[in-house]
Chains A and B, each alone.
Chain A
Amino acid sequence: MANVRLRDIRKSFGTVEVIKGVDLDVADRQLAVVVGPSGCGKSTLLRLIAGLEEITSGDLWIDGERMNDVPPAKRRLAMVFQSYALYPHMSVAENLGFSLKLARVPKETRREKVKEAARILQIEPLLGRKPKELSGGERQRVAIGRAIVRNPRVFLFDEPLSNLDAALRVQMRLEVMRLHDELKATMLYVTHDQVEAMTMADVIIVLNAGTIEQVGTPLDVYHHPRNLFVAGFIGSPRMNFMPATVTSVGEATARLSLPGGAALDVPADPQRLRAGDALSLGARPEHLALSEGGALRGEALVIERLGNVTFVHVSLEDGPMLTVQAASDEPVRVHDRVSVRLGGEDAHLFDGAGLAMPRVPQDHKET
C-alpha cells in the first residue's frame, strides 16, 4: 500500500514562491505523470516529496504517515535522477548495492537482491563495470536498478529519459511501463514531454507555474481540457486556436462568427453565453479537414508528410495559421488555395478567462 497525498503544498526559495498550493492524490500502484513546461516546478515538487528540499508549508503524507520532517532515506522512496547520478568510482554492482550496504544488510542477501534487480533490467553482464564504461541507456538502467533494489514504497522519476536520444527514449519508455506492470509499484514520473505523459500515465497531472491546471486520465485530459493552457500543452501537433464571437444563442447551440466571416454552430449551454461574447475556439488538427466549401479559407504554406499522415499548415485569409490533419496521400501542394471544414461538435470553447465552457447544458453534466 503506497499512496501519496499532498495538501496545499507551498514552496518558496527566498521570496519567490515556486509551488503555489498543490493538492494531489496518487493512489497505490498508479503511474502518475507530472507534466509541464520548463520552470513550472515539477522537479521541485518531486524533490519536495523525496525530501531533498524542505516544504515551506502544507502537508505531505505517504501511506497515511506525515512525512514533512522525515529525512529522505527514511521515507522509503527511491529516486531516478535525470543525470542518473551514479557513483562514478563504484562498479555497477556496488552502485546497486550501496543502499543495502548502508543499511547493513548481510552480504549474501545484498548479492541476491542486486542480481535480481540486474535480471529484471537485463544488465547482468554489466555488473563488474564502472559507470564511465556504460552507454547512456545502460546507465539509465543502472539508475533504475538502484531504485528497485531499495524496494521502495514509491518510485520517483525526475525526467529520466531527457538525456537519451530519440530512439532510445521510445525504447526506455516501454521498459518503464513494463517495469511498472511487473513490479506493481506506485510511480511518480516527471517530464516536460507530453508524449511521454500521454503514453505512460495512468493519471496525468498538468502543472504550470507552480499550480495544477488539471488532473485526469490521458484521454480525459486530451478530450476535455479544462483550460487554454492544458488544451494547448497536451496533444501534438498543438490544438489550433482562433478568436470567435457569439452572434446568436439558441436552445442548445450557439452560432459563432469565425475569422473571415464564416459562421459555425456549436453545442453550448445557453445560460453561459450571450450574443457579443468574445471566445476562443480550439480545434485539434484531426477535427479539421481540407474540403471544398469549408468555412475557413486560406493558403497552404507548409506541408509535412510523415508517411502515415500529413499535416497541412494553412495560413487563413484573415486569421491565424491552422494545422490540418490530412490523409497520407493528400494531393495538396504548397501555395494552393484551400478551404478548411470544422465540425461544431468537435470544437472546444474557452471563455475570456481561458476556462473551457461545457459543451452541453448544465443538467447534462460531464466531468
Chain B
Amino acid sequence: MGTFQIDFSAAQKKRIVGIDLGTTNSLVAFMDLTGPTVIPGADGSNLVPSVVSYQPGGSFVVGNPAQRLLIDQPDRTVYSVKRLMGRGIEDVGEELRLFPFHIASGSEQVLKLQLGDRTFTPPEISAQVLRTLKAQAEAFLNEEVPQAVITVPAYFNDGQRQATKDAGRIAGLEVLRLVNEPTAASLAYGLDKRNEGVVAVYDLGGGTFDISILRLHEGIFEVLATNGDTHLGGDDIDHRLLAIALEDIASEWKEDLSHNGEAVQTLRRAVIEAKHRLSTLPQTTIDFDYRGRRYRRELTRDRFENLIKDIVDRTIGPCRQAMHDAGLHADQIDEVVLVGGSTRIPLVRQAVRNLFKAEPHSELNPDEVVALGAAVQAGILAGDVQDKLLLDVTPLSLGIETMGGVVSKLIHRNSTIPASATEVFTTSVDGQRNVLIHVLQGERELVKDNRSLARFDLKDIDPLPAGMPRIEVRFLIDANGILSVTARDQRMGKEQTIEVKPSYGLTDEQVEAMIEESFEKAEEDIAARQVREARVEADTILRALEKAKANDAWLDLTDDERMRIDAACNELLTVYHGDDHHLIRAKIEQLDHAGRKLAELMMNTAVKSALKGTKI
C-alpha cells in the first residue's frame, strides 16, 4: 500500500472523515497510516443500515436496532430516505407506490414524512444517520469530528446535493465537500491498481445508478463523462419480488396483506434474503412466517433473472450515453469497476461484461469502497494526501428560461467543475426595477421537460429606459456541483442584489431552525443521560445506607450524627426526581460526607471480625 505521499508535519488539525450516506447502508471511514479504513460501530459492524425510527418521547433509533422496528413499528420507522432527498411531492408519486411512507400534510412546499406524532423532512431524517456516524467516529477516534466529506450519486441534481449538505449541517457536521460516488470509488481503487488509463465505474446501489468514465493520469482522476438514473436500484428489484409474493399470498390465503405494515416489512425482509442467496445459489425458497401462517415459494435464479431483466436493462442506455459523451468505444476502456451491493447479482455482472467486453473488478468490498474513497478525499482536503486530485464534472446541463418556454443552455453536462458562465441581462419595459431569471437543469429543449432549480430575482435595478441596463450575471457551479449566482451592474460596476427562491428544498432559515432544534435535542439527550447517571449513583448510596442502618455501627453513632445522615438522605430524595443532575450530585456528596463516620465504624468492625474470623 505504498502509493501515498502523506504529510504529517501539520499537527493540531481537526479530523475530517469520509462518509458514504447510502440508500440502504451508510458508513464512515478515515485515513490512517496504512490508508483508508472503515470505522466500525460499537457492535463491531461496519455498515449502519439507513433506517431511522422516531420513538415516543423524542429520541431516534438508527441502524441495526432500527431494522427490527421497521417490522414492529412501521408507522414511525423509515428506510431509503435518500430516494426522497431534494424532491417535491409531485416527484415522489412513483416512490410512494413502492414505499409505505406516510406523506404528511403541508408537503406542498417541502416534502415531509409522518413518523408517529411528528413530521420530518428527508434531510432531518438523513441527519439522524449522520449523527450516528459522527458519534461512531468520535467514539472510535476519541476526538471531536466536526468536518466530513459526504458522497452523493454522480447524477444527483442541485436540489438533491443541497439537501445532503443541509442534512450534514443539521447533524452538526461541516460538509467540506460532496464527492460523487463513482469518483470516490475510483480513488479507492486507484490506490493499489492501475495508475494510468481509462476506467469505467458502474455503481448500482439500493436506490440510484451511476456510470462514470474517468481518465487516470499521474495521480489526477479526471471524469470524462457521467450518467445515471436517480431512481433505479436494488429497491426496485426488492419491490418487484415483493409485489409478486403479495399477489401469490393473496391468492393462496385469500387475503390482501399489502396494507398491513408489519406483514409487508416481514415479507420484504424474506424476499431480500432470498435475493441475496440467489447471488451464490442456483435456487432458493422465499420463507415467510406471519401470525402462525406460512408461505413458501421456490425461486430459481433463472426465474429471478427473467423477473428483473428489464430493471437491469435500464442501466444500459446511460452507459452507452456516457461512452458517447466521453468520445470512447468499449474497447478503449481499460478497466471496469463494480460498486454497490446490487452488483453482486450475477445478471448485473453479465450485463456489465457484455457492455464493456471486459471482466469487471470487484476486489474491494462493493459496500465499502465508496466510504474508503471518501476518506481518501478527506485526506486530500486535509493536505495529508498530496499526490492525488479529483477533477469531477456536473452531470446535467444548466440553462435559463427564455422566450417561448425554451431553455437556453449555459453550462453543458460533463463540464469539469468548478465551471461558470456569464450572461448579460437587460430590461424589456421602461423603468423596470426587477428581472426574474429561472434556472433549470436537464437536457431537454423545453422548460416543462427540465428540472426547475431556482428563481433568481435581480432587484432594485436603476429605473432606466427599456434595454439600457446591463446586468452581468455569473452562474458558478462549485466543486460540490452546487450552483451559486452573483450579479453586477456593468454600468455602475456595483454588486447587484439577488434574492434566491429555490424550487425544492429548505431555505436557510428553515435549516438554521432545524440545526438549533437538533442541538437542543442533543443537549437534552446529554442532560438526560447525566440525570440518569446521577440517579444511578444516588440509588447506590441510598441502598448502602439502608444496609448500614441494619448494622450495629449505626447504634454507635451519636443522635446528632444520625439526624444529620437522615436529613441528608431526605434532601437527596427530594431532588432525586428533578432534572438537575448537578443538584443530585451535590446531595450525594453531602450524604456521603455525613455518612463518613458510619462507614469508618463499619469498616473497623469488619476488620475486627475478619481478624477474629467471624462474619458480620
Q: Please determine whether chains A and B interact with each other in the same assembly.
A: no
Give A contacts to B, CB under 8 Å.
Answer: none
